[in-house]
Structure 1
């Protein structure tokens, strides 16, 4: 059975992220995409617009000196424009490291990502790592 097109779109996004291919990632998003990041740290908040979202992804790499990576575990679609992905994020920042499970809830309209809600297994751990 073929993978749902929305799941394939998200897998392409993860592949582009892993390769640092911001042009490929940009092509998957609407101009007004929003990525919502939980917590109370410098990375938290609502990153609004394609440029700000891509800047957020660049900052993940910069803040961790290139060590930030995600390992995709699963992708699920509802067939109505929503996809959930689950991954493990890893990175080092100064003398602190993190390995944490996260999930993303995507809204897709017209074969483009319009909204990303991020969830984490431990908000306090993320706040400590990014602060």
Structure 2
């Protein structure tokens, strides 16, 4: 029987990211908050869309995943590689909105892990323009006059 203590740091890091995917699939944001993400986590989302930018702190990152879940966004891992402080994850990410504006592409995340918690993640889309289009559709901005008020 393998115990966590007998796993290498790289294996522990892959297990942590795998657990993240399990909690995301179960929409278990509290476990994500309390057991996976560091309080000062930073999550980088590239692009020019309503969810892009750097989300700082566990509250902002949880809010991001809450919004992402509301768009029916799902993820299935394809590959994990890891060392003592990083995981590279390749996964299929897709939505099932059913309105002709769904997304289905490969994503790569670079995770940085310290003391058994995710402290930083950077997301890379297979097709950034396609990701921007999807997120603009799924998360429409209020009219400029309302945003400036």
In the superposition, the TM-score normalised over structure 1's length comes to 0.91
Q: Does 1:82 align with 2:86?
A: yes
Instruction: Quote the Cα distance in structure 1 between the aligned partners of 2:95 and 2:81.
Output: 25
Say which structure is richer in helix: 2
Task: Provide the residue aligned with 2:51 in structure 1.
Answer: 43
Instruction: Quote the Cα distance in structure 1 between the aligned partners of 2:45 and 2:96.
Output: 19
Instruction: Quote the Cα distance in structure 2 between the aligned partners of 1:92 and 1:77.
Output: 30
RMSD: 1.5
Task: Provide the residue aligned with 1:128 in structure 2.
Answer: 133
Mark the runs of 5 or more structure 1 residues left unpaired by the alignment.
Answer: none
> How far is 1:24 from its partner?
1.3
Mark the runs of 5 or more structure 2 residues left unpaired by the alignment.
Answer: 137-149
In the superposition, the TM-score normalised over structure 2's length comes to 0.81
Say which structure is richer in strand: 1
Q: How many residues are matched?
A: 127
Larger gyration radius, structure 1 or structure 2: 2
Instruction: Quote the Cα distance in structure 1 between the aligned partners of 2:120 and 2:104.
Output: 25
